[in-house]
Amino acid sequence: MPTRANIYPELHVRSPRERAWQLFRKNTLAMAGLWGLGFLCAFTLIGPWLAPYAPYEQFNHALLLPPSWADHGNVDFFLGTDDLGRDMLSRLINGARLTFGNAVLIVAVALLLGSAIGIMGGMSKGLKASILNHLLDTLMSIPSLLLAIIFVAILGPGLFNTLIAITLALIPQYIRATYNAVSEEMQKEYITALRMDGANSWRILRFGIVPNLSDTLVSQTTRALSAAILDITAVGFLGLGAQPPRPEWGAMLSDAVDLVFLAPWTVTLPGLAILFSVLVVNMVGEGLRQAINEVMD
């Protein structure tokens, strides 16, 4: 028996996540940033297996060797060597874990802690909300890098203390952003309708507040990740973060600053690595923010 033709075809309605991904894919800069971020994540995760040499291995016969495409370069050292004969490519790849990997870690911790405190503060009223608001105003008036330097000065120099300091400096930013977003959502009519329908605080949070925080969290995470990368490298450059010979990008810049005219690649390459990581993070974050805003509108 022949099958009947379906004259009422079902329309596939894309979910908000699918529509956001479709809009994101149409953004050329965002996709380029996503590919760059993917390569950066690959270097962070499997860097020690990709690097041709150990980051601390010294080659006494190849001191300050320029990159391989220069006149006196050597193909064995694609990006050249530093003043101690260490391979620059290997140190940059291994440094991705110390700089970018640690930045992702501390931003994740700041996201969880800051968002939780901000949501609780935004949903509360009275004296607790007022105290939290004034305390955040005070902390937000101090730049995150200055806060990180103050904490490092108290805790002492070192990479671990630097990560703790930058995490403590980023948490107030998440609290403030989440607090403002939740407070604004709590004033909307659909929240009032949920309350009148008998919904408790957990149900309001799950079905009313959290789905509308994506734009705020994406924007704040992008800014926080860029700030974390810059703060880690800045503190390392000042000699308060990762200590030599660890191949953290800021520490590599600090070690090579005296060689800027003699061997400019020792300064340029870590600087380009920092610039590239911040650039791809901002490109992906801006693309996600635009896609989410279009879907929500």
- Please, what is the Cα angle at 296 between 193 and 185, to 5 degrees? 40
Confirm whether 187 is domain-assigned: yes
Amino acid at position 133, single letter: N
Confirm whether 19 is domain-assigned: no
Q: What whole-number distance in Å separates Cα of residue 200 and Cα of residue 234?
A: 46
Residue ranges, the chain, pLDDT below 70:
1-13, 126-130, 132-134, 137-140, 297
Q: What is the pLDDT of residue 41?
A: 93
Q: What is the pLDDT of residue 70?
A: 86
Confirm whether 30 is domain-assigned: no
Q: What is the pLDDT of residue 122?
A: 78
In this structure, what CATH number is given to the domain that contains residue 268? 1.10.3720.10
Q: What is the pLDDT of residue 119?
A: 85
Q: What whole-number distance in Å separates Cα of residue 174 and Cα of residue 266?
A: 36
| Residue whose tokens read 């924007």 | 219
Q: What is the pLDDT of residue 297?
A: 65
Q: Dump pLDDT digits (tens) for 204-253.
A: 777 778 878 888 888 899 989 999 999 999 999 988 888 888 899 999 99
Q: What is the pLDDT of residue 276?
A: 95
Confirm whether 84 is domain-assigned: no
Confirm whether 60 is domain-assigned: no
Q: What is the pLDDT of residue 184?
A: 84
Confirm whether 69 is domain-assigned: no
Q: What is the pLDDT of residue 62?
A: 87
Tell me if 276 sits within 8 A of 19, measured CB to CB. no
Q: Dump pLDDT digits (tens) for 158-173.
A: 889 889 989 988 888 8
Q: In 10 A of CB 45, how many CB atoms?
A: 13
Confirm whether 56 is domain-assigned: no
Q: What is the pLDDT of residue 87?
A: 93
Number of separate domains in the chain:
1
Confirm whether 80 is domain-assigned: no
Residue-number span of the structural domain to which 171 is assigned: 37-45+92-296
Kindly tell me the burial class for residue 198, based on how many C-beta atoms sit within 10 Å of its own C-beta (0-12, 13-18, 19 or more). exposed
Q: What is the pLDDT of residue 197?
A: 76
pTM of the complete model: 0.87
Q: What is the pLDDT of residue 8?
A: 52
Kindly tell me the burial class for residue 58, based on how many C-beta atoms sit within 10 Å of its own C-beta (0-12, 13-18, 19 or more). middle
As given in the structure block, the two tokens for residue 172 are 């107030």
